[in-house]
Structure 1
């Protein structure tokens, strides 16, 4: 990272992300969009990646991020995406989602396959493709947005909890494999986060999605998680945040949530 120019005012300090390129997957909405916006505000050159080009274009217009289409479930798309980048310092593996709330006895195997492909295999595809650039950067970060569902199981969540447990162990394994190399492996595990799409995609109706958060005073929002991500990737590079669990104050555990009324 170059220092300030001779014409810079006395006391000038560059933004934390100055000179660094950050890739954010799943950037078209929710935590991904909030993270892209936050990292751009921190001075990163942000590559916002997702399938929905119209939303990416709007995000790029409002934040200055670069919008690049990416489908993490498609190997050709991931390869083309990686080839289009000249450097990567930070990878935020955020693309994911939950698509059902069935009991194991009623498992929809197509939904299981979709959940695993997006959350686990998609994350592996992108990480594998960008790891050479992260190593080359000399100070790379691979950050996984997992979930408290990757740390504890609950009824009706098997397809999602199984996938997020996979993401959690992926982060742990990669950290072991890269020890001694100039790449940090960070995991952020959010609890209850209210976004426009997560519960709606999982439960299929606005009423059911709203019921998840009903009576909960101040659930987390996407910007709260983006704040945690930005903090983790702007620590001095010898500091590794292995795992950060972040919940709203109203949620003590998966099954323990304070609700008004």
Structure 2
């Protein structure tokens, strides 16, 4: 039985991915900041799919907490075959001069440094075994800059570069690295971005059918289950109505 670790698993893409892998008989490690949701999901996965599940409560921005949690994994969960760096967020949709610097810091610390911390903590055993797969959840905002996307786009462009760098550096260890970049998807993403303003968030998905968390989880699972000699390095995923960051048919 293979083991997958999914960060940011308490909602959206992360939760859908946890359910997808559990349904296919993977041992699951879920992480997140919200302990109540983690416990609920841990029980749901174990009861529904009858697979081993282990929950780790920490914020990926907290380097010490990240390393401590990974170091204290139970023996049955120590060998991680797939790491999915999913924890991430967008905060604010403001012109550069109006943006909150605290929002920038949270996005960069979560979307970039958090990925680096978790990957660094998990890597030693992958390197030791000369196998493993790291999947970094990016965004089309990391491919094309759009108006009022400043801090978020910067963080996702950095993550794209980081994924490419990991792929090159870890090649000699036979470790796969995949960057997956979804477009518009209806999850809690916009609620978080607009800081709880549901009215504004809902308008982002009016007039077309966006991706769902399940759509993205299906694609992630596909990339993770290819033969050992096949690696999808980079994948951009949108709904049919969206061509890129600029063109959307409503």
Flag structure 1 segments of 5+ consecutive residues without an equivalent.
Answer: 1-18
Aligned to 1:141: 133
Task: Say yes or no: does 1:248 pair with 2:239.
Answer: yes
Does the CA-based 8 Å contact 1:21-1:44 persist in structure 2?
A: yes
Q: CA deviation at 1:118?
A: 0.6
Q: How does 1:1-261 map to 2 (within 5 A)?
A: 19-64=1-46, 65-85=53-73, 86-195=78-187, 197-204=188-195, 205-216=197-208, 218-259=209-250
Does the CA-based 8 Å contact 2:18-2:28 persist in structure 1?
A: yes
| TM-score normalised over the length of structure 1 | 0.89
Distance 1:135 1:40 in 2: 25
Give 3-state SS (helix, strand or coil) of 2:93's partner.
coil
Does the CA-based 8 Å contact 1:87-1:137 persist in structure 2?
A: no
Give 3-state SS (helix, strand or coil) of 2:172's partner.
coil
Does the CA-based 8 Å contact 1:88-1:137 persist in structure 2?
A: no
Flag structure 2 segments of 5+ consecutive residues without an equivalent.
Answer: 47-52
The superposition leaves residues 121-154 of structure 1 with CA deviations (integer Å, 9 ceiling, x where unpaired) of: 1110101111112223432001000000000000
Distance 1:74 1:68 in 2: 13
Give 3-state SS (helix, strand or coil) of 2:80's partner.
coil
Runs of 4+ in 1 over 4 A off after TM superposition: none
Distance 1:228 1:134 in 2: 23
Distance 1:48 1:176 in 2: 27
Higher-Rg structure is: 1
Distance 1:164 1:94 in 2: 12
Aligned-CA RMSD value: 1.0
Distance 1:74 1:139 in 2: 27
Distance 1:188 1:73 in 2: 21
The structure carrying a bigger helix percent of its residues is 2
How many residues of Structure 1 are paired with residues of Structure 2 in the alignment?
A: 239
Q: CA deviation at 1:57?
A: 1.2
